Structure 1
Amino acid sequence: MALTDIQDRVSKAEAKAGRTPGSVHLIAVSKMQPNDRVATILDQGHRLFGENRVQEAAGKWPDFRETYGQIAVDLIGPLQTNKARQAMELFQSIHTLDRPKLANTIGRLAQEMGACPTLYIQVNTGEEPQKAGVLPNETDAFVASCRALDLPVEGLMCIPPVDEEPALHFALLAKMADRNGLTNLSMGMSGDFETAIALGATHIRVGSAIFGERP
């Protein structure tokens, strides 16, 4: 079973890095996966999932929650400001807070709704022009401005460039989080999550290695 294989690898990586057992949270990335595959993972008892799009999550998770009860679903894809309210109602965490306009919108809605998902600031560690995220040299200031808005920022998130050594990016993210007193790191995917765990990841995002390739 793919899920138990990944869980086993996570446990081994935690032990090797001297981490507390169970300190790394496995986000099963269910975006674009057929519902029967998602149900299989739910049937195995897993209850933390990641989605890229608000619309897809809205069409999928209310029904699953009715059947399976409490399920945590995190947004790990880009968020448009006009979808912020819906996202805040649907998701337990948003891992892609990446610009002041979105921070201001979430701050205003949080006041209005009296609740807010936990937030991760996405850092564009590779400074790639096509990729979302705050630039490394602007991260400290952005963390401070989010705190001034009373936003529940818990950590940082990154997606390293595909052609670079991910360890360098994970180490950079960990350093920035530490400097800002943030305890959570959302980093590491199917191909590099063991490296991410060694460098302090608290949340890893694994899709194809659990569900198989998307149809």
Structure 2
Amino acid sequence: MPHDPPLDPTIAANLGQIRHRIAEACARANRPAEAVTLVAVSKTHPATAVEAALACGQMIFGENRVQEAEGKFPALRPAWPALRLHLIGALQTNKAREAVRVADVIESLDRPKLALALRDAMAREDRQPRLLIQVNTGDEPQKAGIARAEADAFIRACREEHGLPVDGLMCIPPAEDDPRPHFALLAEMATRHGLATLSMGMSGDFEAAIAEGATHVRVGSAIFGRRD
């Protein structure tokens, strides 16, 4: 059984509010509330904040950096066997093996070199985290993600040539754009490829993402507060 974690009334209240907003957004979209999974993004926040969320029944978390994830989550897993970790940040190929070791889902597969590195790492570690392909829906040169024009071929290659366990797609729309067209584009692409998982929407736009079919929303600051 888990030890008694630290209680944090602010995190508890924030989680309750986000869950309520998810349920309301699902109702407006005529979707069951359980159709959407909340990924609590705990990057830069301490393990005590993760434990406080765990105490409220939140079991799915997101981290940007492999090294930070390694410092928090392996120690928590024995007490919380239902805990699941998503890596959501840009992933270097030289960190593929560590990512496969620590994560249950890797949401940032975005280039052929990383696909090969993850395939080899999974074989070496005998572990298969589920994969989401990150699509750069705004074709922003500074942002990670496979370009829109290359996405269809890349999805097929990952699944058919490399045999990777690709479950779905992820995107981060341009900050200055209306996110809805980006979410709609990603949803249409997922449907075209028969992919069930759509990770899209963050603290500021997750309700719009739910309206467009998101199955996972990534919420950090609205739960844990602003990051340092």
TM normalised by structure 2 equals 0.91
1:68 and 2:80 matched:
yes
Instruction: Map 1:172-183 to 2 at 5 A.
Output: 172-183=185-196
Q: Which runs of 4+ in 1 moved over 6 A?
A: none
1:210 and 2:220 matched:
no
User: Which of 116, 119, 130 is matched with 1:107 structurally?
Assistant: 119
Residue identity matched to 2:219: V
Give the number of equivalent residue pairs: 215
- 1:110 deviates by 2.1
SS in 2 for 1:145: helix
- 1:34 deviates by 2.5
SS in 2 for 1:108: helix
- 1:21 deviates by 2.6
Q: Which runs of 5+ in 1 are unaligned?
A: none
Q: Deviations over 1:68-102 (max 9, x none)?
A: 33310100001111111111011000000000000
Partner of 2:184: 171
Partner of 1:195: 208
SS in 2 for 1:205: strand
Partner of 1:142: 154
Partner of 2:172: 159
Residue identity matched to 1:43: A
Rounded to whole Å, the distance in 2 between the matches of 1:205 and 1:175 is 20
Partner of 2:30: 18
Rounded to whole Å, the distance in 2 between the matches of 1:114 and 1:67 is 23
Of 111-120 and 148-157, more deviation after overlay is shown by 111-120
Instruction: Map 1:28-107 to 2 at 5 A.
Output: 28-107=40-119
Q: Which runs of 5+ in 2 are unaligned?
A: 1-12
Q: Deviations over 1:164-186 (max 9, x none)?
A: 00001001111111111111111
Rounded to whole Å, the distance in 2 between the matches of 1:47 and 1:165 is 30
Rounded to whole Å, the distance in 2 between the matches of 1:139 and 1:68 is 36
Rounded to whole Å, the distance in 1 between the matches of 2:155 and 2:65 is 24
Rounded to whole Å, the distance in 2 between the matches of 1:59 and 1:115 is 20
Of 86-95 and 104-113, more deviation after overlay is shown by 104-113
Rounded to whole Å, the distance in 2 between the matches of 1:174 and 1:156 is 8
Identical-residue share of aligned pairs (%) = 54
Rounded to whole Å, the distance in 1 between the matches of 2:169 and 2:82 is 25
Rounded to whole Å, the distance in 1 between the matches of 2:190 and 2:109 is 15
Rounded to whole Å, the distance in 2 between the matches of 1:42 and 1:21 is 20
1:8 and 2:20 matched:
yes
